[in-house]
Every structure is written in structure tokens, then in C-alpha cells.
Amino acid sequence: MNPYVLFFLLFGLGLGTTTTFASSHWLLAWMGLEINTLAILPLMTQDHHPRAVEAATKYFLTQATAAAMILFGSTTNAWLTGQWDIQQAIHPLPATMVMLGLALKIGLAPMHSWLPEVLQGLNLTTGLILSTWQKLAPFALLLQFQTTSTSLLIALGLASTLIGGWGGLNQTQLRKILAYSSIAHLGWMALILPFFPSLTLLTLIMYLIMTLSMFLAFKLNKSTNINTLALSWAKTPALTALAPLMLLSLGGLPPLTGFMPKWLILQELTKQELAPAATMAALTALLSLYFYLRLSYAMTLTTSPNNTAGITPWRLPSTQSTLPLAIAATTSLLLLPLTPAMTALLKL
């Protein structure tokens, strides 16, 4: 892709997200979401492959539907209450409509089925943008507006953790596995959103760091399915040794970074007397953990065939920058001791 066009599109992505962040008016926030959607579509189709075009079409249709729901909900709210302000109290009917529109935009179950399909049709770099950056603007709105539908968010959250765990069990494609992992993590965020919004923000930041590290690791190894993971030893031995820990951090095992948000969320749900929801969320985390362990096994505990083709990549120096991966991998493994500092920051 032409570097000027690429710069223009990335600038559009940044502009759309920043517009949504900075807006207190529903119409301006909606415009930011639309700029975001339109800026990523050419990035999706840069490979000129039928699957990429199909993924971009599916993404455009779902995002357009979600944006229409958000616009309709906010317009209905302005008609009923006479104001467009995001942070003011919102009428329950348009609040539900906007909530479902935002849930469709980020891929919460049961509006999730577009996410694995779209992610599978993209390359790993665009998939990384879709899984991380594209979640920021909708979450900025979810964190700002006052919702009264606590039970709706809990239902969406539990459905997402369950489907995110269940859907990934039978997958062999890494991008689909990461998509179901994304759905499960979004479920945890939705679960705690009505009770402790700043904890949702912490969970989102941890999810972004861990997903960034996994996408960069797969990109460095040029792996797109489980079978190609066995070749990682020949390409990047040090990364292959760390990758299982990064995967288990995504699964939420102590003493890794991913344990922090799950621990705090379960604690807060128990304080809110929602022990059944906390128990179900903890049990669905085991489903996700199973497919992370499958990836760990395929990557680290199986060795590739000891032939010339399998050993050659080790001799070829990689041209990719490994500094972002090194920083992301370190933070996705070692942030748990900072939990008291994080919780103190959240309460400010």
C-alpha cells in the first residue's frame, strides 16, 4: 500500500477514536464511530483477496447496522428527554437500544458471530487493529453513559464468556481462536461495567496488552493455524519458550498479569451479592483455558520435523522489529505485583 494512503487511513482511525473520546454529544460520538469504520475498510481489503473483501463487506454491514441503532437510540432519547448529552440520564428504552448497538459494534454475544468470520479473512496486522484499537471508541461510550439496565449487561457478559469459551474449543485457526478469546474477555468487561466502570477500564487495558503480545508473536512466526506453531522452535526459540506463559496469562492464571482483572472482577461481583454470576464466569474461564493450553502444547511441547525445511528458518535473520513484542510480552507476564498500585489509581 502507498505510504501516503496508509498514513491517511491510520490518521482517520486516530481521528475517529479521538472524536468519540472527546465528544459529549451523541451525534459527534456517532460521527467518530463512522470515521473509524470507514478508515479501517481499505486496510482490510489491501490484500485484494476474496476472503478479505468478504470480511470487509461483513464488517461494513454489521458496523453500519450498529451505528444505525446507536443513532436511532440517541435520536429517540433526544426526542423523549430534550437533550443530546452523553453523560446525562438517558431514557430506559433508547438506553437499551444504544447498549445493544454498542454490543454489536464490539462483538458481545449474542451479537458476536461476525467477529470470528471477519478476523479470519484479515491478515494479522489488520486483525490486531480490529481486536484492539477498534474496541476503544465503543468502550469510551459504554463507560460514559448512565445505564439502568444492569441485568441486560450481566446477561450479555455471561453469554459472551460462555460462547467465547465454547466457540474456541474446536478451532484450529489462530485468528478465530483469538476472536473467541476477545469475545470472552469482552464478556468479563461487560459483567463488571454497571458496578465498577474503572475496573472495566483496567480489564480493557490488560486485554489490549495481552492481545497485542499474542498477535505480534504469531506475526513474527508467520503462524495462522495450530499446525504451523510447531515450526516456532526453529524460528524464535526464546519467544517459543515465553509464548505458553503469554497464553496462560490470557487465560487468567496466577502469578501472571491476566489473573489481576479476573481476580478483582470476581471479588467485586461477590461484594455485589452476585455469587452465582461470579461462579459461572469463573467456570467459563476454564473453557478458554483449555484452548490456550492446546496452543501452548502445539507450540512448545511438540517439535517440528527435523528436516532441512524445518531447520532453515533459524538461519535466516528476521527483518521485523521485536521491540514492541518484547515490551508487550514483558508487561503481559509481570504486572501482577502492581495490583495494589492499579487499584489505588482506579479509586482516584
Residue range 112-169, pLDDT digits in tens: 999 999 999 999 999 999 999 999 999 999 998 877 789 999 999 999 999 999 999 9
Torsion angle, alpha carbons of 120, 125, 126, 131, to 10: 80
Q: How far apart are alpha carbons 241 and 247 in whole angstroms?
A: 11
Question: What value, to the nearest 5°, has the Cα angle with vertex 23 and ends 99 and 31?
Answer: 70
Q: Which among 123, 261, 281, 284 is positioned nearest to 199, based on CA atoms?
A: 261
Torsion angle, alpha carbons of 304, 216, 201, 175, to 10: -60
Residue range 272-314, pLDDT digits in tens: 999 999 999 999 999 999 999 999 998 888 876 666 666 666 6
Beta bridge partners of 85: 25
For the chain, residues with pLDDT lower than 50 are none
pLDDT at 315: 65
Amino acid at 316: L
Q: Is the peptide bond before 255 cis (omega within 30 degrees of 0)?
A: yes
pLDDT at 14: 96
Backbone angles phi, psi at 303, to 5 degrees: -105, 150
pLDDT at 230: 82
Domain chopping of the chain, boundaries? 1-148, 160-226+233-303+322-348
Q: Which residues of 265-276 are buried (b: 16+ CB within 10 A; e: fewer)?
A: bbebbeeeebee
Q: How far apart are alpha carbons 242 and 168 in whole angstroms?
A: 22
pLDDT at 313: 66
pLDDT at 48: 87
Cβ atoms 204, 167 nearer than 8 A: no
pLDDT at 348: 56
Q: Which among 193, 198, 140, 190 is positioned nearest to 161, based on CA atoms?
A: 190
Q: Which residue has 478469546 as its cell numbers?
A: 181
pLDDT at 47: 86
